[in-house]
């Protein structure tokens, strides 16, 4: 999961070296926090949140396979 987010985020931004993903575990819930450079925020979120929505969709699909719950937070 973490690698998936890292790969997608790094391929979407202009400053891949500033991409950081941290993982927290709340019971069965996996919480991923994504941190990117300020000027890259727009690239991650996309028009009307389209990009982050697509990332979450893929994340949910991947989580269904392992029967876990995952949520993604994009830090400002």
Partner 1 sequence: MPESIGEGKTVEAATEAALMDLGCKKEEAEIEVLQEAVKGIFGRTKAARVKVIYNRTNENAEGLKKEDKTEISERISRENMHEASIQGQNIVTKILTLMGIENVKIKAKEEESTITLDIQCEPEGLLIGRQGQTLSSLQYLVNRVIHNTVNKQIRYIVDVGGYKIRHKTILEKMANRIAQKVSDSKEEEQLKAMSAYDRRIIHVCVKDNPEVTTYSLGEGNFRRVVIAPKDKAVPSEQ
DSSP β-bridge partners for residue 32:
23, 72
Q: Is 53 in the site for partner 1 (CB under 8 A)?
A: yes
Q: Which segment (17-25, 26-34, 63-71) binds partner 1 by CB under 8 A? A: 63-71
CB of 75 to partner 1, least distance (A): 20
Q: Is 43 in the site for partner 1 (CB under 8 A)?
A: yes
Element spanning 7, H or E = helix 2-12
Count residues binding partner 1 (CB under 8 A): 22
């Amino acid at each position: 999961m973490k690698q998936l987010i890292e790969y997608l985020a790094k391929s979407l931004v202009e400053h891949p070296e500033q991409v950081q993903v941290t993982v927290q575990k709340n019971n069965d819930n996996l919480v991923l926090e994504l941190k990117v450079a300020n000027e890259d925020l727009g690239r991650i979120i996309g028009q009307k949140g389209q990009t982050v929505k697509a990332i979450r969709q893929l994340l949910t699909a991947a989580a269904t396979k392992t029967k876990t719950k995952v949520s993604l937070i994009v830090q400002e």
